Amino acid sequence: MTQPAPLDARWQLYRLLSDPFRLRLLALAAEEELALGELADLLAESQPNLSRQAAPLRQAGLLSERRHGTRTLVRLDAAAKSDPVVCDALLAGRSMCEKDGSLARIATIVRARDQKTREFFARPPHTDEPIVLAPELPVYIAALASLLDRRALAVDAGTGDGALLDVLAPAFDRVVALDRSTAQLARAERRVLARGYGNVAFFSGEIDDPAVRHAVGSGADVVVAARVLHHAPLPRETVAALAALICPGGHLLLLDYARHADEALRDAQADVWMGFDARELTEFARSAGLTNVCVRELPRGLFQNGVDGHLSWQLLSGKRQTERAHSR
């Protein structure tokens, strides 16, 4: 049986939770992991004062913080949810946040994370770029080496200028190329036209758009997402959306950066996240229902050009269970 906390500790907890501002802060942190700057915006408070208010909540074990580059991300500590007093406090805080509109604004805050990314990829090319084999091609080939002999359908999520299509289109009967930027899709279509690929269908939109689901039908044999996740406002949900496109027995191949500290890429590439730990990627994939999950770092010599050539790349692979395996 769990022993009750000492009376003085409970008194301190009640004192902490008597402040309406802290209740709202806890409720927002329970809804989504948010940066201190994002919380300050939601609560219409200065960031220094918000940090002072959050400090005792963190010390009491109610809030968890983690550093991501120069930002501090805050969320409700998972263990705090088991305390009935905290649960009551969260209900009260959520009610206040619903009334003042801050709870509804979380979705806007999350969308704003990648606004700079959207603007970056919407820029038209300055010149007529020659059609050449992508310098990243060896990396993509390394990723595709783990494929099974199922080649009916591949999905290129976040196709960009279509560099990966030079690998997928010759290897699969049909390819669905998806990107939310029409400027990027125009470049990919130009590549496909120049190469003469007749088996590529293009879609402009998000990964979970109904048109994409309809085109994929019962699922793809492989879904590839190359350097997509570090632009996603909610990486876990993005991995889940990618996994939903896979047929039973199919694979997800996700290429992205290992965690790094190069803040300059936020401006150079409109990156939202500075890479990911292998444990993060593994947890994202398993929570999306994938099995046989593996994360491995790729040889750095495979790609040395470009603004991100100094970073380490890693491959996440995972498999969707067959219906027979799932029913066991």
211 burial via Cβ count (<10 Å: 0-12, 13-18, 19+)? exposed
Work out the average pLDDT over 310-318. 94
- Cα torsion through 148, 165, 205, 288, rounded to 10: 20
234, two tokens: 């909610």
Cα separation, 193 vs 157, whole angstroms? 19
Q: 153 pLDDT band (50/70/90 cuts)?
A: very high
Q: 306 pLDDT band (50/70/90 cuts)?
A: confident
Question: Which residues make Cβ contacts (< 8 Å) with residue 29, sequence separation at least 6?
Answer: 39, 63, 74, 75, 76
* Domain boundaries defined on the chain: 7-113, 121-327
Cα separation, 22 vs 283, whole angstroms? 30
Whole-prediction pTM: 0.78
CATH of domain 121-327: 3.40.50.150
Q: Which comes out higher in pLDDT, residue 141 or 207?
A: 207
Task: Check whether 234 has a pLDDT greater than 90.
Answer: yes
Determine whether domain 7-113 maps to CATH 3.30.300.20. Answer: no
Work out the average pLDDT over 289-304. 89
State percent of the chain over pLDDT 70: 94
